[in-house]
Structure 1
Amino acid sequence: MLVLFETPSGHALFKVVDEAAVAAAAEAGNGALESSPGALSSVLKLAAFSRFTDTTAALASATALVEGKASKDLRKFLKKHAAGEADKLAVGDAKLGASIREKLGVTCVADASSLTLMRAIRANLGDLLGGADAPDGGGGGGDTDDGRAMALGLAHSLSRYKLKFSPDKVDVMVVQAIGLLDELDKQVNTYGMRLREWFGWHFPEMSKIVTENVAYARAVAAMRVRTAAAGMDFSSILDAATEAELKAAAVVSMGTEISDEDVTNMASLCSQVVTLSEYRTTLYDYLRSRMAALAPNLTALVGELVGARLIAHAGSVLTLAKYPASTVQILGAEKALFRALKTKHATPKYGLIYHASLVGQAAPKLKGKVSRVLAAKCSLAVRVDALAEDGGSGIPEVGLDGRAKVEARLRSLEDKGTFSISRQGRARDTGAKQPRVPGAGKSATGAYAAGADMLLASPAAAVTPAAADAGADAVNGDAGA
């Protein structure tokens, strides 16, 4: 029997000398061949060895083995040394054996004896190959650095192949971008408030006139001191009404005077606020393009910011795709969830998904229902983005279709209860028994209406209307008497 073994430096073919010893070791299962290099050397010998020419050939062979296929070099090697042999070929992978049998017609086996031989060869590869080709340098003497270098290079190349690196599908970029975007928002707000408090000593009325931080910073950088506001043109920064109000307030301002050094430092702070806000705009455009390539269906449902925060909270798109819809719904509200479970109170209905536009436009009483429906659609959309082959290209049909269904569900929830149908009208419409209405048998004046009575004729004694009138007269006469 022949044994095929793949090493980082080439293909090795061993000849089993004593098959009975191999079968006995496999049956015993005590690892006698693995722990004893001398016993293994007496059982099998190296028949042929084919060294890889370069790392590219080694990677091609390794990737083919991962997929259970025989590479071109392996087929040539086996055709030269094993095709004409009557012995069986022991392989470590049954799928690879089927491929070799189909291509070359060589009988392959992958049983317990084969696995025992593979473990023994791997443990004593240095002794069997002379040490130079052993990846771990075990026991063989000679230069082991070449074997280690080959194993390391092949491992790196194979890892890169398995990752199938695609720049458009890297969710780490989205995670870092949304984290930086949130930090920039906090920083711009902090700097803006600091500028308002600082410049407010000189021009306190300006804080209520210009409410936006970036516009406030641009206006302060332009005029520097309030006395220069009257002759400034703020048309590129403020609208006409706000500009007129600002100039009028600058004339009658109650602020204190400031020095030139104060003005210089305030101007530097203004430039920081403006620069950070401009970079924030650039970063948002970058995040939007990344999300369109990474998760287009999720972006169509909840937008770029909410989708990126969901991905960042989960860690990756693939991790988020593994979450059920109930987890996606409360993602970001874990602290409130565990507190509610501990105190046995009502659990939260939404987490990060609360900031989606579809949840925001719903009524307060309907936000929980809408968030549940939206989370279900988000779970489907992110699975398409993460696992489908064409999930990141073309029109996000799953996301657009899910958004339309969520909007339809929102409209149905809002319309529910708008038209109220009475019980009597509903019964008349369905043909059910109508409830008795009090006072239905009375006339408009409140007296008893005899015309509303229904008389059922009895077959035994049918009473005519004339006889009924005569009987009524007789009764009235008796009553009068």
Structure 2
Amino acid sequence: MVTVNYLLYESAVGFAVFEVTHQADAVGLELPEVKDAMKSLDKFGKMVQLRSFNPWNSAAHGLEAINLISEGIMPDHLKNTLELNLPKTSGKKSKIVLGVVDKRLAGEISTSFPGVQCESADTSEVVAALLRGIRVFASKLLKGLQEGDINRAQLGLGHAYSRAKVKFSVHKNDNHIIQGIATLDALDKGINQGAMRVREWYGWHFPELIRIISDNGTYAKMVLAVGDKKTLTDDCVDDLANALNQDQDKAEAIIQAAKVSMGQDISPIDLHMIKDLASNVAKMADYRRILSESLDKKMGDVAPNLQCILGTPVAARLISHAGSLTNLAKYPASTVQILGAEKALFRALKTKGATPKYGLLYQSTFIGRAGPKVKGCISRYLANKCSIASRIDNFTENPTKHFGEVMREQLEQRLEWYATGAKPMKNSEAMDKAVAAILAEGGSDLIDTEMIEPHAAASPVKEKKEKKKDKKEKKDKKKRKSLGDVEMVDASEDGEHKKKKKRKSIAA
């Protein structure tokens, strides 16, 4: 059993350190006497004793500390409190045990204070019970507080913390993208099902209309415009053309098909029911078009580079599947590649089969245009570019689509390289091209100098490498020349030897 020596209480008014005067174990906490003592201030006050209470300097100070703790980071305010109130220890056997609420904060404190062993409320029942008692009697145990101070501080800090968590920019917010693409997918499903019912139902009356009009939304509008085919005359051409965006040819074709149609007659009641269904389908189709245009504009503001590479639907589905653009930017390229194929991945790992090569990225045109043998390679390359683009979009205050355009050009060249062997553009050349395009538009404030200077500083290194290469080439040239001289000498010596031999043979 681990003996808890001290307790850290993180409240809305500040940090408090309590010393445990009466020890208890998990078994003892279940006794009725101990449970009654935990409910009484007189008895519980003898179990813990306030060692130090360090309140916030201001509400902003408290919000900053709570935000750091929520990320598992120990603020300086807490570090100073622990340094002043925890006794100094030496050696592993003389460690003191500190009980805390947050498990991540416990690890951070143990790292910063080697002589302190932290026990969190998640792993220790004793720590959880003692901290629960302190929370109940906090207004009495903490000195210098009046009645209701803790409740008011909790309310104010809770509101400030919640506002900070949900705060977003109106122009750069991926929450609307996630909801928009989900609504778009639901609309597609509803429009397809409704249009199928309209086609089958109205097709009994006017089957020839399906061959002339293929779009679901336009077909529903034409059902409303035509109604009973017997009422169509040559004078209705203008009305049908208005419903077809001034397409006179199709309007005339519909009238001619209605005159020779083989469909059966329809009752007014059935026609009324079909028109109501067609009206709903047409309204959903119009709303889908408006939502799609809005989603395109929103993606252009939030993730223009990712949109330029993948297109709006696929890029929006990636963000939605990841949960946010920030989450997508944190993923490595290998995760982005198979995002959306988790079931296939876990099934392959379980059966020790081949893992999937792509997930949502399969909907991209680059995968469809690639050959069967290089689909996996182009998927990996596409995932790399999407990972870079998402990070640029997420961590740039005013992202532009120039990086996405050059990366899309790289993808096109990579496809051509697989097909013809043409040399693609290098990454350094692509980034230089994007930076030059941004600077040409007067966007010097969008480019961080720290991003350009290392690249500019690489030129002396490049010159040094070129000089080194020239020296090596000169050295190799001298070496080849010296080897050539030796060969020439050997050849001349062989020639003289042959001449002497020939003279001897003639003399003989």
Q: Aligned match of 1:112 in 86, 96, 102?
A: 86
Q: Aligned match of 2:176 in 173, 181, 188?
A: 173
Deviation of the 1:93 alpha carbon: 7.0
Q: Aligned match of 2:319 in 311, 318, 323?
A: 311
Tell me the equivalent position of 1:222: 225
SS in 1 for 2:355: coil
CA distance in 1, matches of 2:213, 2:98: 81
Is the Cα–Cα contact under 8 Å of residues 58 and 154 in structure 1 kept in the other structure? no
Deviation of the 1:36 alpha carbon: 6.5
Residues 382/417 of structure 1: CA separation in 2 closer, same or farther (3 Å cut): closer
Aligned pairs (5 A) from 1:123-134: 125-129=138-142, 133=146
- The answer to whether 1:268 aligns with 2:242 is no
CA distance in 1, matches of 2:375, 2:383: 12
Is the Cα–Cα contact under 8 Å of residues 220 and 267 in structure 1 kept in the other structure? yes
Is there any run of 5+ residues in structure 2 with no aligned partner, and where?
A: 1-8, 25-37, 89-95, 101-129, 424-496
Is the Cα–Cα contact under 8 Å of residues 37 and 127 in structure 1 kept in the other structure? no
Deviation of the 1:222 alpha carbon: 0.9
- The answer to whether 1:398 aligns with 2:372 is no
Deviation of the 1:224 alpha carbon: 0.5
Residues 93/284 of structure 1: CA separation in 2 closer, same or farther (3 Å cut): closer
**Alignment: residue pair count:** 360
Residues 192/319 of structure 1: CA separation in 2 closer, same or farther (3 Å cut): same
Aligned residue identity for 1:305: P
Tell me the equivalent position of 1:63: 63
Deviation of the 1:59 alpha carbon: 2.6
Residues 58/190 of structure 1: CA separation in 2 closer, same or farther (3 Å cut): same
1:157-209 CA-partner distances (Å, limit 9, x unpaired): 13323554333444332222111101111111111111111111111122122
TM-score by length of 2: 0.59
Q: Aligned match of 1:161 in 164, 172, 191?
A: 164
**Mean Cα deviation higher: 328-337 or 368-377:** 328-337
Tell me the equivalent position of 1:255: 263
SS in 2 for 1:332: coil
Is the Cα–Cα contact under 8 Å of residues 125 and 131 in structure 1 kept in the other structure? no
Residues 29/303 of structure 1: CA separation in 2 closer, same or farther (3 Å cut): farther
1:452-477 CA-partner distances (Å, limit 9, x unpaired): xxxxx9668669xxx9xxxxxxxxxx
Q: Aligned match of 2:375 in 367, 375, 395?
A: 367
Is the Cα–Cα contact under 8 Å of residues 203 and 250 in structure 1 kept in the other structure? yes
Aligned residue identity for 1:276: M
- The answer to whether 1:192 aligns with 2:198 is no
CA distance in 2, matches of 1:112, 1:389: 43
4+ long deviations beyond 6 Å: 28-31, 43-46, 114-124
Residues 315/117 of structure 1: CA separation in 2 closer, same or farther (3 Å cut): closer
CA distance in 1, matches of 2:380, 2:206: 49
SS in 1 for 2:334: helix
Tell me the equivalent position of 1:299: 307
Residues 462/44 of structure 1: CA separation in 2 closer, same or farther (3 Å cut): closer
Percent of aligned pairs with the same amino acid: 37
TM-score by length of 1: 0.62
Aligned residue identity for 2:241: S
Aligned pairs (5 A) from 1:68-467: 95-96=76-77, 109-110=83-84, 112-113=86-87, 125-129=138-142, 133=146, 143=147, 145=148, 147-231=150-234, 232-233=236-237, 234-238=240-244, 239-386=247-394, 388-390=395-397, 393-416=398-421
Deviation of the 1:377 alpha carbon: 0.8
Deviation of the 1:316 alpha carbon: 2.1
CA distance in 1, matches of 2:270, 2:75: 79
Is the Cα–Cα contact under 8 Å of residues 301 and 402 in structure 1 kept in the other structure? yes
1:318-350 CA-partner distances (Å, limit 9, x unpaired): 222232212211222233334444555443322
Is the Cα–Cα contact under 8 Å of residues 52 and 85 in structure 2 kept in the other structure? no
CA distance in 1, matches of 2:78, 2:157: 23
Structure with the larger helix share: 2
Residues 255/162 of structure 1: CA separation in 2 closer, same or farther (3 Å cut): closer
1:7-29 CA-partner distances (Å, limit 9, x unpaired): 645899x9xxxxxxx9xx69x99
Residues 113/169 of structure 1: CA separation in 2 closer, same or farther (3 Å cut): farther
Is the Cα–Cα contact under 8 Å of residues 62 and 158 in structure 1 kept in the other structure? no
SS in 1 for 2:242: coil
RMSD of Structure 2 on Structure 1 (CA): 4.3
Deviation of the 1:240 alpha carbon: 3.6
Residues 395/44 of structure 1: CA separation in 2 closer, same or farther (3 Å cut): closer
SS in 1 for 2:241: coil
Is the Cα–Cα contact under 8 Å of residues 51 and 85 in structure 2 kept in the other structure? no
Is the Cα–Cα contact under 8 Å of residues 208 and 261 in structure 2 kept in the other structure? yes
CA distance in 1, matches of 2:23, 2:403: 56
Is the Cα–Cα contact under 8 Å of residues 14 and 62 in structure 2 kept in the other structure? no
CA distance in 2, matches of 1:60, 1:306: 41
CA distance in 2, matches of 1:212, 1:67: 52
CA distance in 1, matches of 2:421, 2:388: 27
Question: Higher Cα Rg: structure 1 or 2?
Answer: 1
Residues 165/206 of structure 1: CA separation in 2 closer, same or farther (3 Å cut): closer
Residues 93/370 of structure 1: CA separation in 2 closer, same or farther (3 Å cut): closer
